[in-house]
């Protein structure tokens, strides 16, 4: 896995996403990224929001450049992640979605479904996610509209 610049990545999963998370973490580390693994670390049943919140706190707090979350479908992780005002998370199924969510939405957390996406597809999408810059321009006004009324727009 390569991307333009090594980044700090916070990663987490529930029990359903553990195997895919471990594969993504290994590829990220092999590519020179600094990875902080927020768990889970075993197959016992756990609650996905706990891991989503830990990863999102690291990204929103500036301790990680990007986040990666994995559960059975990616949906629960994305819903949990998007509860955080400075997080823009998307469930990714391929490289095209990954490029567009970065370029148009400045997404900072990639979510994957271990039951819906294979390892190679997830690796390809993650490469695209990390290697695609935000385009800005016309997208800035749209991102500003994501903030709740009266709140500071997402960073």
Instruction: Please give the positions annotated as active site.
Output: 71, 104
Phi, psi of 86 (to 5 degrees): -95, 10
Q: How far is CA 126 from CA 7, 95, 131, in A?
A: 12, 7, 8
Cβ-proximal residues to 146 (8 Å cutoff; 6+ apart), any chain: 88, 153, 154
Which residue shows structure tokens 């199924």?
A: 93
Please, are residues 103 and 132 in contact by the beta-carbon 8 Å criterion? Answer: yes
């Amino acid at each position: 896995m390569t991307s333009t610049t090594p980044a700090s990545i916070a990663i987490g999963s529930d029990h359903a996403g553990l195997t895919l998370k471990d594969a993504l973490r290994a590829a990220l580390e092999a590519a020179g990224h600094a990875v902080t693994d927020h768990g889970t670390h075993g197959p016992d049943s756990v609650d996905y929001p706990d891991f989503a919140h830990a990863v999102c706190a690291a990204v929103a707090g500036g301790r990680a450049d990007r986040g990666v979350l994995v559960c059975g479908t990616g949906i629960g992780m994305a819903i949990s992640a998007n509860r955080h005002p400075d997080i823009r998370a998307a469930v990714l199924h391929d490289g095209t979605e990954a490029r567009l969510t970065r370029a148009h939405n400045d997404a900072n957390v990639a979510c994957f479904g271990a039951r819906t996406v294979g390892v190679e597809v997830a690796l390809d999408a993650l490469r695209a996610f990390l290697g695609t810059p935000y385009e800005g321009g016309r997208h800035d006004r749209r991102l500003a509209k994501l903030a709740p009324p009266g709140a500071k727009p997402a960073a």
